[in-house]
Structure 1
Amino acid sequence: MNWSVSFEPLLSWPWLIAAFVLMAVLAVVGLFFRTRGALIRAVAFVAIAGALLNPVLLDEEREALKSVVAVVVDRSQSQEIGPRTAQTDQTLAQVREKFARFPQFDLRVVETGKGDAADERTETRLFGALDGALRDVPESRVGGALMITDGQVHDVPANPSIGAPIHALITGEENERDRRIHFEEAPRFGIVGKPLDMSYRVVAAGGEQGTVDVRVSVNGDQVAVQSAPIGQRMPLQITVPNAGRNIVELSIPGGEGELTDMNNRAIALVDGIRENLRVLLVSGEPHAGERTWRNLLKSDASVDLVHFTILRPPEKQDGTPINELSLIAFPTRELFVEKINDFDLIIFDRYQHRDVLPILYYDYIAQYVENGGALLVAAGPEYAGEQSIAQTPLIGALPALPTGEVLDEPFFPRLTTLGQRHPVTRGLEGANTEPPRWGRWFRSIGIDRPEGETVMKGPNDRPLLVLDRKGEGRVGMLLSDQGWLWARGFEGGGPDVQLYRRIAHWLMKEPELEEERLTADGRGMVLEINRQTMADQAQPAQVITPSGKVLTVPLAADGPGMFRGSAQVPEIGLYQIGNGDLRTLAHVGPINAPEFGDVVSTADIVRPAVEKSGGIVERVSAGVPDIMPLRGNASAGGERMGFRTTGDSVLKSVDRVPLFGGFLGLGVLLLALGSMWYREGR
């Protein structure tokens, strides 16, 4: 029961004030001049004023509110080490049991570190979770907070914001031993084929000294083993092997009594960038499509082009003195002997053997291809003639020999069944209709028994574009000189830029254009797998998680030659993906996240903030401390966990009793007025 008096005036306050002033003046005047009945008149005026104020006696029924206590439970990946998960569960059960004896507390349990988003697993953010748990609670009702964690918290504030005691119970054991390795310097980009300088450090908790062996791997292949003193910064130099993403991994062996090997690896992602590709374009004679290849290659900022056109073959003699010629002599020896290996691609555009190149040089070109070079033959009628380069030692590098036929008839270039899946021709704009949505060509060159892969066909299903591998190199053959019609927009044109660029980059071994390719990437906590293949089907991918578990991810068709699959994964770290003979690596989540750095149990990180709030830090191995309710700013003291109680309450019901209502009020007024009349009437 809570009794109180409230006033509910019968008139508005301006009228009440005017009436009170008038009655006060009359009462004071009467008392001052000692008129008869002045005292009784004053009492009557007081009674009238009380009636006008209408006092009401209130009987309120209130329910006391509980203080809200937040229990923040650390469920991050470092809490899965050793017995920490069991310790956490046991401690939480004991905390619930202790709070059950105190009905004045409302317990809110919040678990953090196990969200689906990768960012939620990157760091242990207990204080952020605490603020979220108490966001809807008035400050007067906040009783305090309790954190169950291994102590590796990454958002500890200098000044806790809840204004109540915060306590921490630390899982794990004291004096744990652990090794870890991390990159000190890891550039984001590197030049393919060039050395890249990096650095790293091995750190050990528990006082370990000495040296450890560090295994260095690039894209899953071991490239070096170094001996590194513990605690010392070590230089590292690697060679970037591929364009695009490269994964550099450092790993160290586990030590005796080590807490976990989860942080015995460090990852760095390096994007490989090619230096400008060098292309040699040799046009055998001026023709309508000569500038098509030149314009395409000159427009590519990543290509350095050297272009020669044979305008004056040796047999051409017109009597012009040599000293009056303005033509540049073809530097055959410099290009095809001394610097041939400097080129990433050689293109013969309608080239024929006219003794411009010594016959031995064709053998050099064939060896260049066998050793890893790239050759493209854009053939015209000369390829079918007597001076064809197929009649030279270059024959060993060519994927097909000419039959001598030159077919001059209109046709639509079409993709073969193989070409619909090949990365060079897959998805060419306009290829998915019959006839294709591009212009016709009018000439093709006949060949016999082509090797490699025929990805485009001409009239009567004859080969039009052949791609082949020779030794470590690659060869392409385009059996028509009519591609310039697409560039000129004839009959609507065609995807000449797309096709020619893909051919050139496939020959130069661009990873994205490989026929058989397996890639994977992490997006949030989802592992996405892409399989590029010339086969009709793709088997499920086998995935090895950072902890060594094996997952199977099915791959579904996503267009010709493309298969994709994805899986929600539970761990942040490096995943190994295999499909058939192909292997790749993918990292899910942030690289070298703080959560997987230092995992040794410690009370030192949270202690300053906890003690500033008036709380205590204890290890769970010593048991859960007792709970003590506090009032105001009192402190629990000792080794007990103090939590504040609130004085807030909620109103449930109110009983009203008007003091001047009914016969009581009427009687008082009549008595006062009657007494005043009687006294003044005598």
Structure 2
Amino acid sequence: MTLSFAPFLPWTVIAILAAAALVLAVAGLLRGVRGAWLRGLALAALLLAIANPLLTNEEREPLSTIVPVIVDRSQSQDVQQRTAQTDQALANLRERLARFPRIEPRIVEVRNDENSDSPATNLFSALSASVSDVSPSRVGGAIFLSDGQIHDIPNATPDVEQTLGFKAPIHGLITGRADEFDRRIEVVRAPRFGIVNEEQQLTLRVFDEGRTQSGTANVTIKMNGQEIGNLQAVPGRPIPFTFKVPRGGNNVMEFSVAELPGEVTTANNRAVHVIEGIRQNLRVLLVSGEPHAGERAWRNLLKSDTSVDLVHFTILRPPEKQDGTPINELSLIAFPTRELFVEKINDFDLIIFDRYQHRGVLPILYYDYIAQYVEKGGALLIAAGPEHAGQDSIAMTPLESVLPAQPTGQVNQGAFFPRLSEAGKKHPVTRGLEGSGDEPPHWGRWFRTVGVEQPQGQTVMLGASQDPLLVLNRQGEGRVAMLLSDQGWLWARGFEGGGPHVALYRRIAHWLMKEPELEEEALTARANGRMLEITRQTIGDNPGDATVKFPSGKTETMNFTQTDPGLYKIERRMNETGLYEVSNGDFTTLVHVGAVDAAEFKAMISTTDTLKPLADATRGSVHRVVDDANRVVLPDILPVRGEVRVADNDRMLIRMTDETVLKGVNTLPLFAGFAGLAALLLAFSALWWREGR
């Protein structure tokens, strides 16, 4: 109950009237005027009525105490029984807080940011957002339900209350068990690029967390699915590993460490690293059997690539054509056959025979060396002309054993449009060649092909009457391609609009040199931020679905969508960060989505140590939600009036707020109505009575 005024006149006027009334009253008393004190009282009553005094009574209602409950739903909470523990503990906590009508819990569930490439568990940011719209004095405490792996905990400094924005206890309810342990592996340092067949070195490290590190751990290393090494790693120590990059393009290295029985999760027991193979100074041997218009197309293509060291020989005059010209007057050099085809044959990445025929320039034994070169992993391209169908064809030499097709002896003359076969529409060497989608194809015609018998491998291009034009085949560990026409130069010269000779020749060469993007059957996966893209190349039928194993251990079947003949893709935005395993039939690949060094996976064991310093600084507490019998048990909740001065390790203290909200105001005018009129009449009647005596 309070006294207030609502004057009918300004206070200045009332003050002047009061001063005048005081002067009159004092003057009357000093002069001894009878009834002067009654006149003073009457004037005072009149002035009080003008001031309009009011008795005010406010109706207030106590405000509730806000208690944020921050629930950790990050990926580290998905391991073992933590999800079930969190669900049960949250249900029990809701029931306990409901017993206190003046406590208002604010449940906030925090998940990893799906837009972040490097996810972390940021619970205190969620806490700040949850209490941003209330007065700090209404916050009675904060409860964190987590595994303890929180990455934005403020330092427990004396001004931590200013950092938090309120002065109340911080409590932690920790899922998981105290005896947890985990093993993980990470690549500490590794090159992103490497020259093919040159030694590279990386460093990796194994961590055993939550247990005494002793003994060694077996680490298996794979390159593109093939095991290339085993290491015995001492946990905690960096381990160097030396390797060679086997091929150009992307090379996927997989590292897996033997799991420990009973460890928290095996999701971080594997790691991947992608290294880009760079071919340095590719060595190509081009042997032309005779000068012709087509050899320039091959030469120009290979010379235009600065990474290619081209060795080109053209047989200008075969041995049987002797004209008596002295050797010192010939502008020729001796063909170094032994050096090229015996001593240094394995130094070449690709050998091309362009309209070459056996005329005794190469000893017959050397063709066997070339065949062995292919069987051991070499690459051979036959660009055939009419001579390939003759008696001196190199198909009649020991090279026959690696050639995918044998000539019939016929040369087919006549104009035709080179077309893709059904296999060629799917094969990465010819798929999507510019102009191939039209009928007839949107490119110039050719006029000659060499007839062959039913070829092995894949016939990806056809000539007239569906005759084979381009044949690709794997032989032993190597590869062979046969282009059964010498008319490709017509495209290079722009005849009838030309054609995609550069793309075709380059793809043939790269396929022969085993570039991974041109593999007929391949499963690849790459990540761009959180977007996972899975690509399946095949020259067969629909490959079916892909099975994707998530970092959390769950699996999901995903459907491929055909984007081109022989090319199928899956694009999906993933909500988990970590290592994914993708499989389709006999093919398996690994891909890491998000940052490799994401804080969410650097530590997976449950801990009370991270939150305890802050809880102690704010007089809170930290408790595990499961006991030794694996039962969910929560501490009691104790509301406290006023500031929390002493921590209680057995209970969670909640500081109750004393703030209220105004619901209404009741006012009583003291000089209003009959009461005020009666007071004034009494004063003036007393004055009149006294004056009348």
| Preserved CA contact (<8 Å) 1:254 1:264 | no
Q: Deviations over 1:103-148 (max 9, x none)?
A: 22111222334x5838599433322332333343343332221112
Match of 1:559 among 525, 545, 564: 564
Work out which of the residue numbers 62, 65, 85 in structure 1 matches 2:63.
Answer: 65
Aligned residue pair count:
672
Q: Distance in 1 between matches of 2:660 and 2:303?
A: 80
Q: In the TM superposition, what is the alpha-carbon distance from 1:454 to its structure 2 partner?
A: 1.3
The equivalent residue for 1:275 is: 279
Which residue matches 2:377?
372
Post-superposition shift, 1:550? 5.7
Secondary structure at the aligned position of 2:150 is classed as coil
Any idea what the Cα deviations from partners look like across 1:586-609, whole Å, max 9, x if unmatched?
A: 345543644444333322111122
Question: Counterpart in 2 of 1:643?
Answer: 654
- Between the aligned partners of 1:667 and 1:187, the Cα distance in structure 2 is 101
Q: Percent identity?
A: 54
Q: Offset at 1:508?
A: 0.9
The match for 1:262 among 261, 266, 270 is 266
After alignment, is 279-288 or 340-349 more displaced? Answer: 279-288
For 2:278, give the aligned amino acid: R
- After superposition, the Cα gap between the structure-2 partners of 1:348 and 1:259, relative to the gap in structure 1 and judged at 3 Å, is closer
* Cα distance between partner residues in 1 of 2:271 and 2:142: 37
* Equivalence map 1:132-171=2 (5 Å): 132-158=129-155, 159=160, 160-163=163-166, 164-171=168-175
Q: 1:503 is matched with which residue? A: 508
Distance 1:510 1:82, change over 3 A: closer
Change (3 A) 1:27 1:180: same
The equivalent residue for 2:91 is 93
Q: 1:435 to 1:4 in 2, by over 3 A?
A: farther
* Contact 1:520–1:527 under 8 Å retained in 2: yes
Query: Structure 1 CA distance, aligned partners of 2:192 and 2:414?
Result: 53
Instruction: Give the Cα separation in 2 of the matches to 1:412 and 1:175.
Output: 73
Residue in 2 aligned with 1:335?
Answer: 340
* Residue 120 (structure 2) pairs with residue 123 (structure 1): yes
Quote the offset at 1:427 in angstroms. Answer: 1.6
Cα distance 1:194–1:138, how it changes in 2: closer, same or farther (>3 A)?
A: farther
The offset of 1:267, in angstroms, is: 0.7
Aligned CA-pair RMSD: 4.1
d(CA) in 2 for partners of 1:630 and 1:429? 79
Equivalent residue number for residue 293 of structure 1? 298
Shift in alpha-carbon separation, 1:288–1:225, aligned structure 2, 3 A:
closer
TM normalised by structure 2 equals 0.83
Distance 1:345 1:636 in 2: 81
State which drifts further: 337-346 or 607-616. Answer: 607-616
Alpha carbons of structure 1 residues 286 and 624: separation in structure 2 relative to 1, 3 Å: same
Structure 1 253/21 Cα, relative in aligned 2: closer, same or farther at 3 Å?
closer
| 1:187-586 superposed matches below 5 A | 187-197=191-201, 198-242=203-247, 243-255=249-261, 258-262=262-266, 265-276=269-280, 277-314=282-319, 321-521=326-526, 528-543=533-548, 551-565=556-570, 573-586=578-591
TM-score by length of 1: 0.84
**What is the identity, as a one-letter code, of the residue corresponding to 1:511?**
P
Partners of 2:325 and 2:689 lie apart in 1 by 154
Code of the residue aligned with 1:453 in structure 2: it is: Q
The C-alpha deviation readout for 1:154-211, integer Å capped at 9, x for no partner, is 2222145242321112233334454444444344444443443223234353335333
Q: Deviations over 1:512-569 (max 9, x none)?
A: 1111112234567776543221112223344555676665444443331123346787
Residue 164 of structure 2 aligns to a residue in which SS? coil
- Mean CA deviation greater in 593-602 or 374-383: 593-602
Please tell me whether the aligned partners of residues 414 and 458 of structure 1 are also in contact (alpha carbons under 8 angstroms). yes
- Indicate the SS of the match to 2:91: helix
- How far residue 228 of structure 1 moved from its aligned partner, in angstroms, is 3.4
Give the secondary structure class of the aligned counterpart of 1:333.
helix
Q: Which amino acid aligns with 2:638?
A: M
Deviation at 1:425, TM superposition (A): 1.1
CA distance in 1, matches of 2:20, 2:186: 93
Task: Map Cα deviations across residues 288-323 of structure 1 (whole Å, 9 max, x no partner).
Answer: 343333333334454333333444554566776544
Q: Distance in 2 between matches of 1:404 and 1:373?
A: 27
- Check 1:534–1:82 CA distance in 2 against 1; reply closer, same or farther (3 A cut): closer
Q: CA deviation at 1:420?
A: 0.9
For residue 414 of structure 2, give the secondary structure of its aligned residue in structure 1: coil
Do the aligned residues in 1 keep the contact of 2:79 with 2:265 (CA within 8 Å)?
Answer: no
Structure 2: gaps spanning 5 or more residues: 628-632
Residues in 1 aligned to 2:349 and 2:4: alpha-carbon distance in whole angstroms: 96
Name the SS for the 2:121 alignment partner. coil
Match of 1:102 among 96, 100, 103: 100
